Structure 1
Amino acid sequence: MSGLFTIAQAEWQLWLRSQLALGTLLIFALLLTSTSVLTALRMSEAHQERTQQQTAAEEYFLSQPDRHPHRMVHYGHYVFRVPPPLSMIDPGVDPVTGQSMFLEGHQQNTAMFADARASAELGGFENLTTALVYQLFLPLLLIAIGHGLVIREREENTLAPLLAQGVTGVQLYAAKGIALAGASLVLLLPLAVMCAVAIGQGAALLASVGVMGLYALYLLVWCSLILLVSSLARSR
């Protein structure tokens, strides 16, 4: 077992000395920080705005004069969907399904006022969220640092000496997998912090843990694919 972590530690040290790995990590960190802050601010603004609109709608509805209940049902009432705490990570379908609904008797209305802004100030990247950064850009980072996990040993003629020292192929693959999986789990720490903040704001514990578990599983699948391709490829 110690031999596995020795090989994994050697990979981590190599990545820390690699300008490519550090450069891609810096880009990922900047992108994650900017999108997280923008998404959190956007959802906080939406939360306050819709809460105020809901309060105003309720006050307007209750300020009506006394009427027959059937007429009140037909008069209708607006309800606004307030973004949940986990929306700071992923707003979900909120931008495209609408934020409010008009309730009235004998009618089934759909949600209205979808957020369809042109996002001109960010060139279309305003809707880039923390979730998309983890789903799209983190796998690219893992590919950049992990594509040479096995093939590099073959190109540098260090694979045969490793095997000659008693390291089996399974142990080598396991050590390389531990190195890449460990790096991916470390990169999940910002997401864990955001989930903890969401729990503090009232998010369900099970939902937050589920988000973390699904993203960890998603990244582990990517790590497995990267390791498989690196072991099958003959050259970079």
Structure 2
Amino acid sequence: MSSSAVTVTMSADAAREPIAPLWHTVLVLMPIAIGSVASWYQHGLPNAHVPGISSRLSSYITVLAQEWLVVLLIWLALRRRGLSIGTLVSGRWPTLGSFFKDLGLAVGFLVVAIPLVGALAYLLGGSADSALANITPKTAFELVVWLALAVTGGFGEELTFRGYLTRQFSAWTGSRVFAIVLQGVVFGLAHGFYHKVMVVVMVQGWLLGLFAHWRKSLRPAMLAHGLQDVLGGLVAFFS
């Protein structure tokens, strides 16, 4: 049996039962919840950052640490079951052509999703751009760290929400649709910095969940998520 077939088999098995017990999921959600609450209040606490560096850079470093901690917790749970992160991601790209296919799908997703969530933000009387203006990079060094954060977000957040949490919720509820809805809600709540625009982030979480479910892989969603964050930082920095 090929390695890709083994990955598919393990993925199917993981979808039928939880990857980890409930206490582990609570442990995974704790740093996410703490980070969201902290970011909610951050702009009202101008001194709430690491001394000697900007509040933006302090935020980047904090989020990087939080997201890699969550990835570590998920990796440990998978390892305990004899599985790998590839179980959730659907393995590596088998060919260069498959990478470009997923990249094209990711770009297509963004072409549809960005105007949709932008229109929703406008209808809600908020703006994701105004929230981003306070956290996007202003110096070259901040831009470098932002790009690292964008790549981390594309990988880590998709692994966490569309991978781990979707599998957990699906196993517990017996419904993949309900699991996608739940992970989107948690994804929105995890972005406390956006305040009422969290609803827009929630919708984007649902769209990414449907995208991953349609492709039966996290790879296109990871590319879309990371690309959106990279472009957002670059546009904000150079504009």
Could you tell me the TM-score, scaled by structure 2's length?
0.32
- Structure with bigger RCO (C-alpha 8 Å, 6+ apart): 2
TM-score (ref. length: structure 1): 0.32
**Higher helix proportion, which one?**
2
